[in-house]
Chains A and B, each alone.
Chain A
């Protein structure tokens, strides 16, 4: 594909359920980032992958959040036992090795009822 894709585009879930968000980066991009954006706010850094490893997980809000990346490509962000405060847009971005910019996907809009 030409750009970063994310699925689902929208997700409505009940409090306490687990959700899995997927990101397909641009082919060949080794760096992958996850961000969270609440309504009217800036981007909150969650986690960064270089290849399949995540050297910095300090941005994950709690131990209910986890992320993995396989084959240096697709990444999934999992939120367990969702809470209402997890409602936000979750954005994924990828960047080529040493790249100066990130290319963002369209985001997943998560609503926890």
Chain B
């Protein structure tokens, strides 16, 4: 089966840096994705890793270690609008299926 774990909730301060971890156990790994979802809205794509290492995209970076089944999303210079749920998702070769974690709710406080 597929197993994706991420913390349920995190709190951080405006202007700070926060790291959201995701661990996974899957067969046929074919990429790891991070999505942002504001309450009551659809998820929007943030980042994608298929090879080990760090992908940087403005204030957001994502890291992948395939041997450890581990990824993290790093958010810098936090803003109040970053308060949202962050979903980790793994794509597998089997029919391009995506498996999502339950999401990490990030609360950014002033």
Contact = CB atoms under 8 A, between A and B. Distances in A.
Given A45-B99, A91-B43, 18 more contacts: A35-B100, A42-B100, A43-B89, A43-B98, A45-B100, A48-B96, A48-B97, A50-B95, A55-B95, A56-B95, A56-B97, A100-B48, A101-B33, A101-B45, A103-B45, A104-B43, A105-B42, A106-B42
A interface, over-half SS: strand
Interface of B: 4, 31, 33, 41-45, 48, 87, 89, 94-103
Interface string A13-51: 000000000000000000101010000011111001010
Nearest to B94: A56
B42 A91 contact: yes
Given A48-B95, A48-B96, A42 B101 contact: yes
Nearest to B44: A104
A52 B38 CA distance: 31
Interface in A80-113: 91, 100-107
B28 to A, nearest CB: 12
Interface of A: 31, 33, 35, 41-45, 48, 50, 55-56, 59, 91, 100-107
A21 to B, nearest CB: 14
Contact of B87 (A42, A101, A107): A42
Nearest to A106: B42
Given A100-B31, A106-B41, A42 B97 contact: no
A98 B75 CA distance: 28
A102 B98 contact: yes
10 contacts: A35-B100, A41-B102, A43-B89, A45-B98, A91-B42, A91-B43, A101-B48, A102-B98, A105-B42, A106-B41
